[in-house]
Amino acid sequence: MASLPPSETLILEIDDGWLQIRFNRPEARNALSDEMASDLMGVLQRVAEDRSVRGIMLRGEGNIFCAGGDLKGFQKSLAGTFTQEEAEAMSRSAGALFARINSMPQVVVAIVEGAAIAGGLGMACCADFVIAKEDAKFSLTETMLGISPAQIAPYVIQRTGQMAARRMMLTGAKFTATEAHALGIVDIVAPSTEGLAKAAAEIKASVRRCAPGANAVTKEIALASGHLNRDEMIAFAAKGFAKCMLSDEGREGILSFVEKRKPSWAKSD
């Protein structure tokens, strides 16, 4: 596996092929500062093509997931020195990070404790699975501050659908983990810290049964389905299928089925 870069804003741990990334700014409620965003992007870029990394867990230190963007970084606008170009660049940078999380070839799991607010909620919506502790809180506060949830909007919509997302974003909605589950933002609500660990372990076990390369191609196909037309989608999916079938993974998967044994990637279960 590729070596992980040093970081003061993230705690990075690898365990049996799973990378755990903990946001390490509890004094700021793990708000997404420029440094933390840069560190997170760097880590994700480093491991994106590493198939020894089976999955990624996103979590916050201090029993809080993420309070969104660091508003201290917005203070330049109060002084009247923030230009249109600078504001757009800031937004594009955030958008690139959310897109990177959303498109990671590995399975991404967000574990939400405490609160997921604004960009923190958007980041959770980029994950493949969201596990939330029962007492976690969620909110979309941007419009209450006179700004728009510009870069997270596509991922909230991806999770909840267009109309539900609009209702939430246009009212600065606040809701519980149970309500977030009903909306489709949360996949599993856990009653305790132990419940979070149990749910995460079950997801890990399920993912380990699947070939990492096949999972990466499957995510590519799923994401492409949102913007390709029918003929383009048929061609794109066919290329992905052929890539998998002709790969070492594909051969091993078929051989293991014939020989009635687990494939090599599942032998650690």
Task: Reduce the secondary structure of 114-165 to three states and give it as a string.
Answer: CEEECHHHHHHHCCCEEEEECCCEEECCHHHHCCCCCCCHHHHHHHHCHHHH
Spatial separation of the C-alpha atoms in residues 63 and 249, rounded to whole Å: 39
Q: 210-240 pLDDT, tens per residue? A: 999 999 999 999 999 989 999 999 999 999 9
Q: What is the average pLDDT across 169-178?
A: 97
CATH for 250:
1.10.12.10
The verdict on residue 4 lying in a domain is: no
Q: What is the average pLDDT across 248-258?
A: 95
pLDDT higher than 50, residue 194:
yes
| Domain match, 168 and 89 both | yes
The verdict on residue 191 lying in a domain is: yes
In this prediction, residue 83 carries a pLDDT of: 85
Report yes or no: 148 and 156 within 8 Å, Cβ to Cβ: no
In this prediction, residue 74 carries a pLDDT of: 66
Reading phi first (left if > 0) and then psi (alpha if -120 to 50, else beta), residue 127 is in beta
Q: 62-121 pLDDT, tens per residue? A: 999 999 988 776 665 556 677 889 889 989 999 999 999 999 999 999 999 999 999 999
Where in the sequence is the domain holding 242, given as residue range(s)? 210-266
Q: 36-53 pLDDT, tens per residue? A: 999 999 999 999 999 999
Cα distances (Å, whole numbers) of residue 103 to 96, 181, 190, 268: 10, 22, 26, 26
Q: What is the average pLDDT across 164-172?
A: 96
The verdict on residue 2 lying in a domain is: no
| Domain match, 168 and 252 both | no
In this prediction, residue 64 carries a pLDDT of: 97
Q: What is the pTM of this model?
A: 0.94
| Domain match, 129 and 156 both | yes
| Domain match, 166 and 249 both | no
In this prediction, residue 269 carries a pLDDT of: 46
| Domain match, 195 and 251 both | no
Q: What is the average pLDDT across 143-170?
A: 96
| Residue burial 62-93, b: 16+ Cβ < 10 Å; e: rest | bebbbbbbbeeeeeeeeeeeeeeeeeeebeee
Domain boundary among 162, 188, 207: 207
In this prediction, residue 5 carries a pLDDT of: 85
Q: Checking DSSP bridges between strand 115-117 and strand 137-139, what pairing results, if any?
A: parallel
pLDDT higher than 70, residue 267:
no
The verdict on residue 15 lying in a domain is: yes
| Domain match, 228 and 117 both | no
